Amino acid sequence: MQIIIEKDYEAMSRRTADVIVDTIINNPSATLCLAAGDTPRLAYSLAAKRINSEQIDVTSCKFVSLDEWIGISDNNDGSCGYFLRTVLFDPLRITNQQVHVFDGLANNLLAECGAMDEFIFNNGGIDLIVVGIGRNGHVGFNEPGVSFDHYSHVVELDATTKTVGQKYFRETTALNQGITLGLKHLLESRQAVLIANGTAKAEVIHLSLDEEISTAMPASIIQNHQNALVIVDEEAASLLKTRRS
């Protein structure tokens, strides 16, 4: 695991964007899994800008979402699907054939999980997964206590996630369940990038990277990844003891 500490959010975002773009340059048919949320917003915008200005070919790439709120349509601007579409897929003119995102309104959620796993396996596995970290240490919607041994699955959301998740929505929204890639997908990806910024993430970054791996802190599993990169800003790194690189 390599840890990169950047000065601020913008530098963290620029470094993350470079990893995304370099992955595509090195492997034009790469499969990328991308988190939604506030943390990666600028990184994706910068990546899209660079790809467009340098005319990098993304027509053979595949993109999958990391997770989605169950019961929320991807027309809702608080959904993960809406976020990825507007921040990345539309600016890059990515076609529907290149994308597989969870449908939070699916009637058969097990089938929805199976279809995501199949898309990933049929496209050779995930080359790059970019994840954020929740204030409770979750990754995707893999909440504290989750098994590390799941592919895509449906979860009951943690109380913290239900509360913090309101920030994405214009009005108070019932958030009870999520559908998410499991941590087995993260572990099997060829490269995993965990990003975090701000003092609100300092404690979970410390617990995830300095302490033993534990299901109580799902993000700690990144320590076991064969090719993991953690990119944090100085605020998120402020309690970090491990400065491995």
Of 37-45, 105-113, 115-123, 220-228, the segment contacting ligand F6R by CB under 6 A is 37-45
- Per-residue CA distances from 84 to 30, 38, 65 (Å): 17, 11, 8
127 is catalytic: no
> What residues from 5 to 24 belong to the interface with ligand F6R (CB under 6 A)?
none
68 is catalytic: no
Which of 74, 112, 127, 143 is flagged as catalytic?
143
Among 13, 16, 31, 39, binds ligand F6R (CB under 6 A): 39
Query: Binding string to ligand F6R for residues 173 to 192, with x set by CB under 6 A, is what?
Result: --------------------
- What angle separates helix 41-53 from helix 9-26, to the nearest 10 degrees? 50
Nearer to ligand F6R, 28 or 219 (CB): 219
Is residue 26 exposed (0-12), middle (13-18) or buried (19+ Cβ within 10 Å)?
A: exposed
Nearer to ligand F6R, 30 or 130 (CB): 130
Among 12, 64, 66, 194, binds ligand F6R (CB under 6 A): 66
67 is catalytic: yes
Query: Binding string to ligand F6R for residues 111 to 140, with x set by CB under 6 A, is what?
Result: ---------------------xxx---xxx
Among 17, 23, 63, 67, binds ligand F6R (CB under 6 A): 67
Q: Taking a C-beta distance cutoff of 8 angstroms, is the pair 140, 181 a contact?
A: yes
Q: Taking a C-beta distance cutoff of 8 angstroms, is the pair 232, 3 a contact?
A: yes
Shortest separation between residue 219's beta carbon and ligand F6R, angstroms: 9
Where is 203: in which H helix or E strand? Answer: helix 202-210
Q: Report the residue number whose CB is nearest to ligand F6R.
A: 132
- Per-residue CA distances from 65 to 119, 124, 221, 239 (Å): 11, 16, 20, 30
Q: Taking a C-beta distance cutoff of 8 angstroms, is the pair 14, 238 a contact?
A: no
Q: Taking a C-beta distance cutoff of 8 angstroms, is the pair 31, 1 a contact?
A: no
158 is catalytic: no
Shortest separation between residue 53's beta carbon and ligand F6R, angstroms: 26
* Beta bridge partners of residue 229, listed in sequence order: 2, 193
> In angstroms, rounded to a whole number, what is the distance separating the alpha carbons of residues 116 and 109?
11
Binding footprint of ligand F6R on the chain (CB under 6 A): 35-39, 66-67, 80, 132-134, 138-140
List, by residue number, the catalytic residues. 67, 136, 138, 143
